[in-house]
A and B are shown apart, each in its own frame.
Chain A
Amino acid sequence: MSSQEIPEERLPAEQDTAHGAVEVADDPFADPGLPAHRPRIQDIDERAAKRSERTVALMFTMSMLATVGFIASYVIFPVDKIVFIWPFGHVSALNFSLGLTLGLALFLIGTGAVHWARTLMSDVEVADDRHPIEAAPEVKAKVLADFAAGAQESALGRRKLIRNTMFGALALVPLSGVVLLRDLGPLPEKKLRKTLWAKGKQLVNMNTMEPLRPEDVVVGSLTFAMPEGLEEDAHDFQNQIAKAALMIVRIEPDDIKDKRQREWAHEGIVAFSKICTHVGCPISLYEQQTHHVLCPCHQSTFDLSDGARVIFGPAGHPLPQLRIGVNSEGNLEALGDFAEPVGPAFWERG
């Protein structure tokens, strides 16, 4: 059934629920047809048309000047010259002048062309016919017949063996492409569960790069630490620090509400993973009175005096704690790796 056969202003009123035809109301007023064209001043007054012509030419000329200005700016302004331009403040002279001249050169071509089109080119509205997109029935019949003939000649329907093996071959061949993707990366295995921390690894203060001593950690301050032996120029520094970064604070032992936390601390010095358990941003803001830390990415807030429990935001579980102690040299050291994976949760985390 071709939809084009239905008179468009009125689809069948009879409700055909299978196809769900609809009824459309008639237009109450007749179409008066295209309104007559109203001439513009330029259409009747040659002087006005001349003025428009000069305006357009002026814009194109100014565009040329702007391009010259662009080249001049490129040559004149040193790349590092900073100037003060009100109200934009201190800006790069080169960027400012290049952008402005290029912008003007382009913009003036645009205004010129549009002004030309609006004032001097014909603005008479005309109507073009539309033709239905659907093919005429004869065309469709011819195509179907052609296809049938082609299919017949290929004998694809009859020679099942060829058909089935061909589909099989075509279905299998993309597998090679999939296999080739295997070396995009290693399997996850236990990689997300392990960090550089291990029993006996000293905590290194990330500010001073010296081993951290208990007396360095004062109440009310937030200290960041990383494992000893990790060098900033190591090839895997970024990967390691992404998991091992630590956040150290000192809390009065009596203020620590969580029992295990108190045991894993050293005289109130607690070490938590710095990596947010939501989607992995590093945590950076510390509220000393409440011992709350805030992740700047989506504002998850953890209470470091209560097992780093989530008290606000989208994170789903507490920050993992690193068990620490003091070694014979009086430096803080880890007593093992984290007991659970750091960072965002994942399916195998458990």
Chain B
Amino acid sequence: MSTVTDTKRKAPAGERVADWADGRLGIYGLAKANMRKIFPDHWSFMLGEICLYSFIIIILTGVYLTLFFHPSMNEVVYHGSYEPMQGIRMSEAYASTLDISFDVRGGLLVRQIHHWAAVIFLAGMFVHMFRVFFTGAYRKPREINWLFGFLLFVLGMFTGFTGYSLPDDLLSGTGVRFTQGAILSMPIVGTYISMFLFGGEFPGTDIIARFYSIHILLLPGIMLGLVVGHLILVFFHKHTQFAGPGKTNKNVVGMPLLPVYMAKAGGFFFLVFGFISIVAAIASINPIWALGPYRPDQVSTGAQPDWYMGFAEGFVRVMPGWEINLWGHTLVLGVLIPLVLFGVILAALALYPFLESWITGDKREHHILDKPRNAPTRTALGVAWVTIYFVMLIGGGNDIWATHFHLSLNAISWFVRIAFFLGPVLAFIVTRRICLGLQRRDKEKVLHGRESGTIKRLPHGEFVEIHEPLGPEQLYALTAHEQYKPLEIGPTVDKNGVERKPSALQKLRARLSRSYYGEGNQIAKPTAEEYKEITSGHGHH
């Protein structure tokens, strides 16, 4: 009977609380698997944490802001403490944002933390996403988590957009107008969606309230679910690790969650929060009072969205204004094509893991990360994607480039248009070459050792650098990566002499496989024989 043990020893209070909870929630079972869970250490694994923490900071500060913000487009005349706006007509949303900035003590700080955290959240996701991409962490079994993460990135963009639209200032109103114009360009449904979204014509009196519920409830609700799912999957799959001595596909090497990661990750939360608070103290962001309330017939120059919308903005800016008028209808290609490209380019990134696994046909689990150089084609494709992204960011800020660097807008537009097509191709070629070069250097290092920096003079006068052989740990780490053989279609006649015609899809797949893993597209790892041959016998240097 359990009372026997109970009487023997009076459990401390903490244990008694835990017992109580265990009897209802089964927490000991949960803790058994997770409390000392092993997490590998690498600086790049902190990127996901930055996202998580800025997301938490965004939620905390956002709830505070809801206490003071009025999501209403009712017109009021301003009588708050910001002198320059005295007596000006504005929406209640704008007026309450001024109040938060000038009348609520600390309100400005919280507003700025919220906005800075959003900027960092999206930047963090972008970098984290590419950490996952370039190391191949999205391979089986993590494809679903890749999609969760991708969705978080996309939803994060829209949450940010709806968020900075809420103050109803001149800049954000212009952004909303832009969105409405883009919606109008959609064939057949455009005008209907616009009317339904805005509750009538632009701007109407509903959009702020509707964006509000989307911004504080709908999107963050979905994102919270995705973040939780994302983290559960990270725990369930266990974290990936880079190749190295003692690290295999069947283990995970690192330090336990309790105490090391609890302290490091917990501490890191405070570091991120502290950093963002200090930034919010010294760097102003979105000073809505400098712009004035939104009016559809007024605009500020140099209008720029937050950085994560610059990619979409770029397409819209550099696209030629094509319009097709036929049978009483207008196809607004000049706006529609950017809209479609925006979706297609994002979708390409989301679906890439599935393309790669189709090409390799690899159905195994992968827990060892690739060094980017060891997957040259993947890395080159990733860099090509990033190139498009940054080219479009340049396009999105074309007026800023023009005024700051005294360039003509026309020149920038043409640069961006050409770079959109040429940039990724060049980036692909250059990146693949660099990767192959690095692979060659690794091979060189394995076979001939590391350059020691010591110069030796040979008897006949020649100077050579001494190479030190690598230790077994480095030898292993540099050669542990897998190399696929390209897929061959095989004989077109099978064993029984029956002719077998490979389908177009199979041929395509074999072609792609060759371009990933074929000769010249990866440098074969040094073999043990090569190594022995070189290191044994004659004096190498």
Contacts and interface: CB of A to CB of B under 8 A. Distances in A.
B482 to A, nearest CB: 5
B197 A29 contact: no
B299 A281 contact: yes
Interface in A1-44: 3-4, 6, 8, 11, 13, 15, 17, 19-25, 27-35
A282 interface: yes
A25 B263 contact: no
Contact of B255 (A35, A122, A281): A122
B165 interface: no
A121 interface: yes
Given A242-B202, A280-B202, A133 B299 contact: no
B267 A111 contact: yes
A326 B128 CA distance: 64
Given A15-B488, A239-B201, A345-B185, A128 B251 contact: yes
Where chain A touches its partner, the secondary structure class is loop
A129 B246 CA distance: 12
B286 interface: no
A164 to B, nearest CB: 32
A107 B271 contact: yes
B316 A6 contact: no
A103 B399 CA distance: 35
Contacts of A92: 108
Interface residues of B, number: 143
B202 A239 contact: yes
Nearest to B480: A27
Nearest to B198: A185
Given A121-B263, A345-B323, A133 B330 contact: no
B222 interface: no
A313 interface: yes
Contact of B490 (A15, A129, A206, A313): A15
Contacts of B182: 279
A59 to B, nearest CB: 10
B106 interface: yes
A347 B484 contact: no
B430 to A, nearest CB: 26
Contacts of A20: 358, 360-361, 487, 509
B188 interface: yes
B317 A98 contact: no
B37 interface: yes
Contact of B174 (A133, A274, A281, A285): A281
Interface in B327-375: 328-335, 358, 360-365, 367
A161 interface: no
B334 A314 contact: yes
Nearest to B176: A280
B174 A129 contact: no
Contacts of B333: 316
Interface in A95-115: 95-100, 102-114
Contacts of A343: 181
B203 A238 contact: yes
Contact of B483 (A3, A25, A80, A312): A25
B295 A238 contact: yes
Nearest to A33: B246
Contact of A102 (B109, B203, B473): B109
A126 B256 contact: yes
Interface string A329-349: 000000000000001111111
A111 B263 CA distance: 10
Contact of B329 (A100, A275, A313, A348): A348
Interface in B254-279: 254-256, 259-260, 263-264, 266-279
Nearest to B529: A28
Contact of A129 (B195, B203, B251, B328): B251
Nearest to B398: A299
B245 A344 contact: no
Nearest to A226: B297
Nearest to A191: B201
A239 B321 contact: no
Given A125-B255, A128-B37, A185-B200, A22 B260 contact: no
Interface of A: 3-4, 6, 8, 11, 13, 15, 17, 19-25, 27-35, 74, 79-80, 88, 91-92, 94-100, 102-114, 116-118, 121-130, 132-133, 181, 184-188, 191-192, 206, 224, 226, 232-233, 238-239, 241-243, 245, 274-275, 278-282, 284-285, 296-300, 310, 312-317, 343-350
8 contacts: A4-B364, A22-B362, A74-B106, A94-B108, A99-B280, A128-B252, A187-B195, A239-B202
